[in-house]
């Protein structure tokens, strides 16, 4: 099967006009299209969540408004979510070290991870995952290479510097229940809705999905980035703690609500949380001015 030939942007614009019925033309539209890239931009924003849910744009201006809205959302959320990732690691690390009385991972493995018969395999899998992550980072991390080269154990704070949120969630899930519950309270998760601390790693996984999508410049406005979908218990907890009804955890705004909830409980300033809310509202109102009402409703419902 022959490979497809490269299509020039003039050809791609013609394709959009003739096959997608989107008005596009002129040097300004071509410049905008080239800045976002056809395959990242047009292909990525032509539907809601799944390719079968096509967005019926009539002009490139409408598509550009949606792309700009999505880029603005990522800009608004980038710094807060990166700050939150650092804060999560700091709080978890502090609780674990105080609970165990050591920052040495071998001590944490023996005295901080759950050793019940049901979770023993998870305990060893967690250890192997962390050691593999450190080995992988040896050649690129000055922190890890420093300790390895001196044949010293890597302290937990340095391990956390290198861990991805998915691996951190695995570590948290393997902790002793009483330690998970202790950490959970710092995050605002009540004990009566958090049997054995199971909600804490779920919070991390939910935040991870949005964090990674923003960091890798993926589409976020319609919630397509959501990978961790087992959120029923998390939904009930967040509705109970915030008094916000109809949280479905199937869209961006619900994840923003979770992020602000955790940030609030970890001591972030209220002014910062209010600014996030205000900027998102401003972006939605600006989008409303740029789109026909029916199209705006379609977009808005997807991001809720």
Strands 50-54 and 47-48: antiparallel
Structure tokens at 210: 């949005």
State pLDDT tens for residues 51-61.
899 998 999 99
pLDDT digits (tens, 9 = 90+) for 53-101: 999 899 999 999 999 999 999 999 999 999 999 999 999 999 999 999 9
Q: What is the pLDDT of residue 119?
A: 77
* Mean per-residue pLDDT, 267-296: 96
For the segment 123-128, the average pLDDT, to the nearest whole number, is 93
Q: What is the mean pLDDT of residues 208-231?
A: 94
Supply 129's token pair: 């995952």
DSSP the chain: -PPPPPPPHHHHHHHHHHHS--B--HHHHHHHHHHH-IIIIITTTSEESEEEEE---SBHHHHHHHHHHHHHHHHHHHHHHHHHHHHHHHHHHHHHHHHHT--BHHHHHHHTB--STTTHHHHHHHHHHHHHHHHHHTTT-HHHHHHHHTT-PPBHHHHHHH--HHHHHHHHHHB-HHHHHHHHHHTT--GGG-GGGTHHHHHHHHHHHHHHHHHTT---TTSTT------HHHHHHHHHHH------SSSHHHHHHHHHHHHHHTT--HHHHHHHHHHHHHHHHHHHHHS-HHHHHHHHHHH-
Please give the pLDDT value at position 117.
Answer: 67
Phi, psi of 234, deg, nearest 5: -65, -40
The mean predicted confidence, pLDDT, of the chain is: 92
Torsions phi, psi for 271 (to 5 deg) = -60, -35
CA distance 240 to 190: 10
User: pLDDT at position 1, please?
Assistant: 47
pLDDT of residue 271: 98
- Output phi, psi for 54, to 5 deg: -70, 145
Decide: 193 and 233 in contact? Cβ < 8 Å: yes
Q: What is the pLDDT of residues 222-269, one digit of tens each?
A: 999 999 988 899 999 999 999 999 998 888 999 999 999 999 999 999
pLDDT digits (tens, 9 = 90+) for 165-204: 999 999 999 999 999 999 999 999 999 999 999 999 999 9
Residue with the bigger pLDDT between 138 and 269: it is: 269
Q: What is the torsional sign of CA 155, 161, 163, 169?
A: positive
Q: Which of 40, 45, 72 is nearest to 61 (CA)?
A: 45
**What is the rounded distance in angstroms from the CA atom of residue 299 to the CA atom of residue 57?**
11
Band the pLDDT of 5: cuts 50, 70, 90: low
The rounded distance, in Å, linking the Cα atoms of 107 and 166 is: 22
pLDDT above 80: residue 150: yes
Phi/psi for 128 (5° steps) reads -65, -40
Rounded Cα distance, 164 and 205, in Å: 10
């Amino acid at each position: 099967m022959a490979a497809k030939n490269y299509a020039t942007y003039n050809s791609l614009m013609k394709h959009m006009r003739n096959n997608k019925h989107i008005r596009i033309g002129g040097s300004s539209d071509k410049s905008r299209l080239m800045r976002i890239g056809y395959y990242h931009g047009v292909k990525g924003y032509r539907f809601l969540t799944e390719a079968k849910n096509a967005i019926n744009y009539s002009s490139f201006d409408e598509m550009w408004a949606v792309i700009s809205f999505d880029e603005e959302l990522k800009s608004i959320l980038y710094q807060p979510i990166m700050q939150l990732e650092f804060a999560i690691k700091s709080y978890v690390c502090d609780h674990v070290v105080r609970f165990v009385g050591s920052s040495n991972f071998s001590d944490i493995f023996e005295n901080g991870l759950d050793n019940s018969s049901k979770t023993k395999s998870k305990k060893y899998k967690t250890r192997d995952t962390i050691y593999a992550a450190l080995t992988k980072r040896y050649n690129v991390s000055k922190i890890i290479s420093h300790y390895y080269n001196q044949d010293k154990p890597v302290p937990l704070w340095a391990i956390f510097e290198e861990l991805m949120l998915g691996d951190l969630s695995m570590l948290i899930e393997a902790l002793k229940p009483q330690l998970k519950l202790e950490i959970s309270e710092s995050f605002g998760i009540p004990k009566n809705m958090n049997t054995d601390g199971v909600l804490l790693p779920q919070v991390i996984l939910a935040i991870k999905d949005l964090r990674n999508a923003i960091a890798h410049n993926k589409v976020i406005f319609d919630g397509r980035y959501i990978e961790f979908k087992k959120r029923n218990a998390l939904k009930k907890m967040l509705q109970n703690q915030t008094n916000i009804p109809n949280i479905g955890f199937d869209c961006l705004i619900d994840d923003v609500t979770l992020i602000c909830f955790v940030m609030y409980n970890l001591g972030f300033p209220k002014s910062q949380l209010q600014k996030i809310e205000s900027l998102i509202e401003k972006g939605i109102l600006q989008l409303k001015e740029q789109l026909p009402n029916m199209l705006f409703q379609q977009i808005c419902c997807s991001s809720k």
